[in-house]
Structure 1
């Protein structure tokens, strides 16, 4: 039915971009672009991809500076530039009429992409998407210019602890195992990520405004965990209100990391969404 993961690197927009392609041998008409959340990578879709690849072509991108993508200190880590990087990758693969799927921060990248190139995007799927966040405070931006600030970022993440972070983002904590812990820890074993995160703090603009969201006319599917402690359901309800062509699905007894917790249910709603808009 489908090919296995084909992981590749490509130099685009001044950075090395890692992506995984799962191409359907029967020439599926739909291509879904997956974009992960903050401090995550394509690894977070490992339980959802097996369902998606049975029906669709799937491209999963490690958004820089995360996962296996480059950590260049010259790259601009704004959401707009990340969206432009996604667009350039999509164009380099000669893809048209794509469906974007973004989890958490990846949802905001998806919305930026749809705003910049509505002609390219035929649907957006938001899984517990970030929304309405403001730009970093001026004092934090100023502090990030200090030579050793990356050490502060590293210590801050180390103090919070991987296991505590995973317990915070899932409702069903029994799914946390060694494979999951190692998969989310792997990208943070080298210090280059912390230099790049420091620049991201400076570069990140605020999320798309209500006025811009009101103007988006691409169909959107919002799927939320009722017990999401990272991006509360109220954000999802507000996004649903501001995105005029949207539908909101709420999953009970589910936290923030819904591609891990509810992959089969998420796939069911995605398939329904794609079929309806098609």
Structure 2
């Protein structure tokens, strides 16, 4: 697809699970969960184009459908016919797009505080994205609050915010074309799947949510659980949006129960 993608993987004789991170994040979102999951799964994580260590391409089409096709191409590269698919936030919405596009390749879905029901950006904002220096405005908007403040918004327990965590989330933001790729995401991103589209996804789905999520509220999770025909929702007290950072052990145990059910 003409874009360089960073991937980490650990293959064994266990069934494969592919992990997709959220907006302005990377595979590092799963750094506490992966050591637990590797006892039971072959693991693949990818940094989506525009984020993490993947290319900040100024030609890639940053639409959910294209992201879905890229993930399927990664599956082909690793010769994986079927997988368990897990996504956090925006990665959850991409996972839903994959399950709609090629359901036969997905065994089950695990959604961590999945993005849902977001509309496409306003036409005026999309048109503004074509202005020559709009990417500088995008960079300012991303950087104005600082990485620590952003993490404080997505993590309920602020004592978990370490210098390592801050550095991992800060590093991609400083790359040359990061803001340009964000502008292209704003321009290309479709609205989230409609209730009618969600109702066509028959795959078993486990929805895991923080009750103090300020980004994608538990109310959204409850609505999503109703629209997906075969979904189960579990929520956790004292947890925010980045639930993989705050509740890795609890998530791991529920994932294993869900896979084995």
Q: Same fold (TM over 0.5)?
A: yes
- Out of 234, 243, 247, the position equivalent to 2:232 is 247
- Is 2:111 the partner of 1:111? no
- Is 2:144 the partner of 1:156? no
Deviations 1:180-234 (A, max 9, x none): 1001111111221111111111000000110010111111000000000000001
> For 1:187-206, what aligned pairs fall within 5 Å after superposition?
187-206=172-191
- Out of 6, 13, 17, the position equivalent to 1:32 is 17
CA distance, structure 1, for counterparts of residue 171 and residue 11 of structure 2: 26
Partner of 1:7: none
CA distance, structure 2, for counterparts of residue 158 and residue 196 of structure 1: 15
CA distance, structure 1, for counterparts of residue 27 and residue 61 of structure 2: 21
- Out of 27, 30, 40, the position equivalent to 1:55 is 40
- Is 2:83 the partner of 1:83? no
Partner of 2:9: 21
CA distance, structure 2, for counterparts of residue 163 and residue 67 of structure 1: 17
Segments of 4+ in structure 1 off by > 3 A?
none
- Is 2:240 the partner of 1:264? no
- Is 2:112 the partner of 1:124? no
Q: CA deviation at 1:23?
A: 1.8
SS of corresponding position for 1:188: helix
SS of corresponding position for 2:79: coil
Deviations 1:26-60 (A, max 9, x none): x11x2110000000000111111000011100100
Identify unmatched segments of 5+ residues in structure 1: 1-12
- Out of 42, 66, 75, the position equivalent to 2:27 is 42
- Is 2:204 the partner of 1:216? no
CA distance, structure 2, for counterparts of residue 157 and residue 69 of structure 1: 18
- Is 2:215 the partner of 1:233? no
- Is 2:51 the partner of 1:66? yes
SS of corresponding position for 1:249: strand
Q: CA deviation at 1:117?
A: 0.5
Partner of 1:96: 81
Partner of 1:207: 192
Identify unmatched segments of 5+ residues in structure 2: none
SS of corresponding position for 2:192: coil
Over the aligned positions, Cα root-mean-square deviation in angstroms equals: 0.7
CA distance, structure 2, for counterparts of residue 203 and residue 160 of structure 1: 25
Larger relative contact order, structure 1 or 2 (CA cutoff 8 Å, min sep 6): 2
SS of corresponding position for 1:187: helix
Is 109-118 or 88-97 further displaced after alignment? 88-97
CA distance, structure 2, for counterparts of residue 102 and residue 201 of structure 1: 20
SS of corresponding position for 1:61: strand
CA distance, structure 2, for counterparts of residue 160 and residue 144 of structure 1: 21
Deviations 1:42-97 (A, max 9, x none): 01111110000111001001011101111221110000100000001101111122
Provide TM-score, normalisation by structure 2: 0.99
CA distance, structure 1, for counterparts of residue 50 and residue 129 of structure 2: 16
